[in-house]
């Protein structure tokens, strides 16, 4: 099939690469000339493991190309995939200006029958609006199909080639057949629904996963007070197939370009039809508070926190990505800096992106983990990059001014820390937090 993908963010790029790898002819369109020039040169504008290899392979095979010329791309394709951003407005509602503009651009370019397949996450009813918008501008035949995307950053290639399911929302049987054909090599779990249900499946899925995270974070907070270990609690719960073990990792809360935005949007979608989504509002509140748990733990150790130097390991919202959109590290570092704390920050990949959003004279950007820890009064681990697990804790203790470790992602274990003389705080693991055997060094 001949496919045009509009937007070369995570979703557009990975979809384009996947469909070309399946033998289709794919052209990816972006209005950002810099991105298109990079992609044409075989460079990938985002850090996503495995993406570059498969992109270059398909580009060299002549199945995948990149352009800024939307009209030509649309005219030569049968299927047009909309994969542009739908960020949050200040109200929390999804900002539909990019998807509406892309739909208009497509409408003005249609020369013959097209299937417009929306992969962007859009509020319920948006695909009907897109249909209206296109038919207002074009007399040519077309169908609009909602195919929400479920990939995760950091494992986007694997997720796209091995999806748990494909959801196809359409009212048209012919379009459904064509889109099923496009995906049938990927999975047998293809669910065809009406358009509104497909749109809702995406929001409901993200809201449910966010709920699991806020739930386990609240359990963690109670564990700290009653003397239980949340990692054991989550393990014990996860063996129950009805609960499942995934998305039960307690920490400093969820971030990223999707959960914060999509939970807010669903609250708004509900509000627009006079439904007060109380549960999801609490999920969002819990998540906001959870980010501050790191600061509360620091304050409990250092009443004079403002005079201290704190190392931060991890700036990206999760490991294996350079994406810092709504990363918990942003709010945590901004709050510490506002209090006068000096920060040594380090991330293996995301520092350049982070500096575009947070810049302050009290922040020193470091090239390595040990460099960041040198002379610090405390170290906060905010992203569980694999390299942090391999830390030589004796060397870490020796380089820090005070051996205080706040582990926001429960990376280290009690065994590893025994006899290392750290004051150690993690999330929901009270035994370690009060363990006298750790013989903490006196704080200077
Ligand atoms: N990032 C994810 O992991 C993920 C996963 C599932 C779903 N989604 C959803 O997919 C959508 C895209 O997210 P993303 O993170 O991949 O995108 P992004 O915001 O990183 O990139 C969007 C791209 O679209 C381009 N663009 C915007 N308007 C255009 C137009 N009219 N013509 C050509 N190009 C245009 C922009 O220049 C940009 O490069 C969002 O709705 C998001 O919620 C994202
Ligand atoms: O047990 C867990 C799992 C995740 N997180 C955090 O949750 C956030 C999101 O993680 P993840 O879901 O792995 O990454 P995303 O790339 O944001 O993917 C989510 O958002 C995408 C965009 O909608 C969807 O496509 C995916 O299915 C959905 O998992 C990150 O900050 C994680 O640190 C936790 O705190 N605990």
Mean pLDDT of the chain: 95
Q: What is the distance in A from the centroid of ligand 2 to the CA of 298?
A: 26
**CATH assignment of 292-438?**
3.40.50.720
Q: The pTM is what?
A: 0.96
Q: Is the complex ipTM higher than 0.85?
A: yes
Pocket of ligand 1 (CB under 6 A): 6-12, 29-32, 35, 70, 83-86, 98, 101-102, 105, 120-121, 149, 151, 153, 257-258
pLDDT at 436 (0 to 100): 42
- Residue 49, pLDDT > 60, answer yes
- Tens of pLDDT, residues 252-304: 999 999 999 999 999 999 999 999 999 999 999 999 999 999 999 999 999 99
Q: What is the mean pLDDT of residues 223-243?
A: 97
Q: Which two tokens stand for residue 347?
A: 């991330």
Atom of ligand 2 nearest to the CA of 150: 25
Distance in angstroms (rounded) separating the CA atoms of residues 344 and 341: 10
CA 69/CA 242 separation, integer angstroms: 49
Confidence check: pLDDT of 441 > 80 = no
d(CA 312, CA 289): 19
> String of b and e for 269-296 (b: at least 16 CB within 10 Å)?
bbeeeeeebeebeebbebbeebbbbbbe
Q: pLDDT category, 434, cuts 50, 70, 90? A: very low
Q: Is the pLDDT of residue 193 over 90?
A: yes
Query: Which candidate, 110, 89, 100, 84, places its Cα nearest to that of 31?
Result: 84
Which residue matches tokens 């901004």? Answer: 334
Q: Which CATH superfamily is domain 2-193 in?
A: NAD(P)-binding Rossmann-like Domain (3.40.50.720)
Helical ranges in 227-277 per DSSP H:
230-238, 259-272
Residue to mutate (ligand 1; options 5, 6, 10; most atoms within 8 A of CB): 10
pLDDT at 267: 97
The DSSP annotation for 277-296 comes to: -HHHHHHHHHHHHHHTHHHH
Count the helices and strands in the chain (H runs, E runs): 20, 14
Q: What is the location of CATH 1.10.1040.10 in the chain?
A: 202-289
CATH code matching the domain that covers 202-289, chosen among 1.10.1040.10, 1.10.1060.10, 1.10.645.10, 3.40.50.720:
1.10.1040.10
* Predicted local confidence at residue 262, as pLDDT: 97
Burial 62-74 (b: 16+ CB within 10 A, else e): ebbbbbeebeebb
- Please tell me the predicted confidence (pLDDT) of residue 419: 78
Backbone region of residue 410 per phi and psi (left: phi > 0; alpha: psi in -120 to 50; beta: other values): left
- Residue 42 known to bind ligand: no
* Range 421-439 average pLDDT: 71
Alpha-carbon span 402 to 255, nearest angstrom:
29
**Residue 438: predicted pLDDT:** 42
Tell me what pLDDT residue 435 has: 43
Residue range(s) of every CATH 3.40.50.720 domain in the chain: 2-193, 292-438
Q: Which of 3-12, 100-109, 132-141, 411-420 has the lowest mean pLDDT?
A: 411-420
Decide: 248 in ligand 2 pocket, CB within 6 A.
Answer: yes
Active site residue 258: yes
**pLDDT of 128 over the 80 cut:** yes
Q: Average pLDDT in the 180-185 region?
A: 98
Element spanning 28, H or E: strand 25-29
Question: Would the annotation count 325 as a binding residue?
Answer: yes
Ligand nearest to the CA of 66: 1
List pLDDT tens digits, range 288-347.
Answer: 999 999 999 999 999 999 999 999 999 999 999 999 999 999 999 999 999 999 999 999
Average pLDDT value for residue range 30-58: 96
Mutational pocket test of ligand 1: of 118, 149, 201, 259, the residue with most ligand atoms within 8 Å of the beta carbon: 149
The active-site residue, picked from 223, 258, 366, 380, is: 258
């Amino acid at each position: 099939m001949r496919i045009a993908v509009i937007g070369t963010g995570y979703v557009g790029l990975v979809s384009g690469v996947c469909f070309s790898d399946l033998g289709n002819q794919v052209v990816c369109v972006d209005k950002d000339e810099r991105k298109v020039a990079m992609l044409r040169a075989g460079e990938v504008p985002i850090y996503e493991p495995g993406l570059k290899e498969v992109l270059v392979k398909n580009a060299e095979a002549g199945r995948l190309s990149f352009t800024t010329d939307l009209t030509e791309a649309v005219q030569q394709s049968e299927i047009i995939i909309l994969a542009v951003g739908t960020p949050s407005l200040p109200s929390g509602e999804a900002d539909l200006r990019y998807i509406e503009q892309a739909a208009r651009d497509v409408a003005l370019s249609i020369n013959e029958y097209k299937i417009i397949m929306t992969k962007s996450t859009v509020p319920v009813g948006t695909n009907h609006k897109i249909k209206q918008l296109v038919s207002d501008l074009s007399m040519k035949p077309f169908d609009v199909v909602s195919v929400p995307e479920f990939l995760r950053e950091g494992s986007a290639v694997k997720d796209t080639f091995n999806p748990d399911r494909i959801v196809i929302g359409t009212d048209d049987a012919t379009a459904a057949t064509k889109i099923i054909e496009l995906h049938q090599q990927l999975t047998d779990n293809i669910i065809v629904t009406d358009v509104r249900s497909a749109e809702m499946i995406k929001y409901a899925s993200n809201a449910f996963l966010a709920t699991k995270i806020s739930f386990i974070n609240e359990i963690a907070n109670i564990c700290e007070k009653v003397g239980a270990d949340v990692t054991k609690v989550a393990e014990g719960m996860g063996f129950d197939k009805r609960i499942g073990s995934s998305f039960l990792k307690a920490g400093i809360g969820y971030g990223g370009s999707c959960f914060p935005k999509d939970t807010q949007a669903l609250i708004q979608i509900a509000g627009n039809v006079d439904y007060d989504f109380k549960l999801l509002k609490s999920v969002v509140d819990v998540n906001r508070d959870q980010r501050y748990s790191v600061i509360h733990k620091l304050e409990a150790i250092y009443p004079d926190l403002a005079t201290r130097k704190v190392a931060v390991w991890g700036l990206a919202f999760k490991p294996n990505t350079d994406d810092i959109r709504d990363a918990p590290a942003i709010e945590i570092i901004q709050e510490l800096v506002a209090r006068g704390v000096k920060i040594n920050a380090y991330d293996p990949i995301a520092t350049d992106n982070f500096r575009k959003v947070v810049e302050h004279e009290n922040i020193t950007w470091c090239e390595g983990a040990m460099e960041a820890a040198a002379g610090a009064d405390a170290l906060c681990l905010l992203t569980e990059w694999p390299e942090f697990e391999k830390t030589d804790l004796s060397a870490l203790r020796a380089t820090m001014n005070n051996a205080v470790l706040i582990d926001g992602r429960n990376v280290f274990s009690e065994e590893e820390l025994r006899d290392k003389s750290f004051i150690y705080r993690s999330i929901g693991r009270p035994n370690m937090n009060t363990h006298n055997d750790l013989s903490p060094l006196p704080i200077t």
